[in-house]
């Protein structure tokens, strides 16, 4: 099917992947589609390019990058007058959303799904005024994501988060605050981390919100209570595998809205993109996005 396609590509993509994207673009043009490649240069470019492409009538937007690129594109589409279909070519560090959806890591396989896959309505959550599509975390995991150096992520990939997380673990301390779900207190007091999931995995494959579904109209809330350092260390493998829900140190709920208030400023990320503050309000946006998924 001939269509108008815009590929939004993160900077620093490997030459082999960039060449594969270019070759596919030429093939599609030869078949009659209109295809444009746009490379981001600075933060916010992905959002601006996605919004402009949608408003200009693009039928398919392809986010070629990692979770950060995807988050910018999602925010651009969320504010556009018309929302085209969204597809992902995973070329980032962790690629949690793409991996959770089952999108292959090779450019050809991912583009095949972008063009011929199954359209899937996906909920679009918000934290304060920022949209996200995968998972938002605060506390221990968010600090590790925020402080992982860009050079480390380029060289080490997802291991960069583990290295930074190990450094954070040495200085582990709880956050004190209140977490509400649909206006009711889910946790009050000290906690080590929380996650709000639209999807299941984050941080390079950790299944923090293993019951989350992309289109159930609900947010999955995970809270890890403040526990001694060694107890938290023992819990980490279960958090990685998604087998932590029966632990007495875990609070887990599925809800339509969440409010988190901390006694001090904390780091929170949405799809890996950091923000800081003392109050974070979560809800599901009014309209879903259509994402191309494996058949």
The catalytic site residues sit at 273
CA 274/CA 136 separation, integer angstroms: 9
Rg value, the chain, Cα? 19
CA 215/CA 287 separation, integer angstroms: 11
Helix, strand, or coil here: 44? coil
- Report how far Cα 233 is from the mean position of its chain's Cα atoms: 25
CA 154/CA 211 separation, integer angstroms: 31
- Read off the tokens for 281: 């309000």
Tally of CB atoms within 10 A around 233: 12
Nearest to 189 by CA among 199, 203, 175, 200: 175
CA 130/CA 137 separation, integer angstroms: 14
- Read off the tokens for 156: 């080490």
Is 274 within 8 Å of 266 (Cβ atoms)? no
CA 223/CA 62 separation, integer angstroms: 33
Q: Are strands 125-127 and 273-284 parallel, antiparallel or unpaired?
A: antiparallel
Nearest to 173 by CA among 236, 227, 128, 97: 227
Give start and end residues of each alpha helix (H) in the chain.
15-30, 45-55, 67-78, 96-101, 107-116, 140-147, 150-156, 159-170, 229-241
CA 289/CA 228 separation, integer angstroms: 41
**Tokens 């070329």 label which residue?**
91
């Amino acid at each position: 099917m001939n269509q108008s396609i815009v590929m939004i590509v993160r900077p620093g993509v490997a030459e082999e992947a960039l060449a594969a994207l270019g070759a596919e673009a030429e093939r599609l043009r030869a078949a009659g589609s209109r295809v444009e490649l746009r490379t981001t240069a600075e933060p916010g470019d992905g959002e601006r390019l996605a919004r402009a492409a949608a408003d200009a009538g693009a039928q398919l937007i392809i986010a070629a990058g990692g979770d950060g690129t995807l988050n910018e594109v999602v925010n651009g589409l969320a504010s556009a007058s018309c929302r085209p279909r969204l597809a992902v070519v995973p070329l980032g560090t962790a690629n949690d959303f793409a991996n959770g959806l089952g999108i292959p890591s090779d450019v050809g396989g991912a583009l095949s799904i972008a063009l011929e896959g199954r359209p899937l309505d996906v909920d679009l959550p918000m934290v304060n005024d920022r949209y996200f599509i995968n998972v938002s975390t605060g506390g221990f995991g968010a600090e590790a994501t925020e402080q992982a150096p860009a050079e480390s992520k380029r060289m080490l990939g997802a291991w960069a988060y583990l290295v930074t997380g190990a450094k954070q673990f040495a200085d582990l301390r709880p956050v004190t605050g209140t977490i509400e779900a649909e206006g009711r207190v889910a946790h009050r007091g000290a906690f080590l981390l929380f996650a709000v999931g639209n999807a299941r995995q984050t941080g390079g494959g950790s299944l923090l919100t293993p019951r989350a579904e992309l289109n159930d109209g609900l947010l999955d809330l995970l809270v890890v209570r403040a526990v001694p350092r060694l107890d938290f260390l023992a819990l980490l493998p279960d958090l990685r595998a998604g087998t932590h829900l029966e632990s007495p140190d875990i609070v887990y709920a599925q809800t339509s809205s969440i409010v988190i208030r901390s006694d001090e400023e904390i780091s929170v990320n949405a799809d890996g993109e950091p923000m800081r503050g003392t109050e974070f309000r979560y809800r599901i946006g009014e309209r879903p996005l259509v994402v191309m998924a494996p058949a």
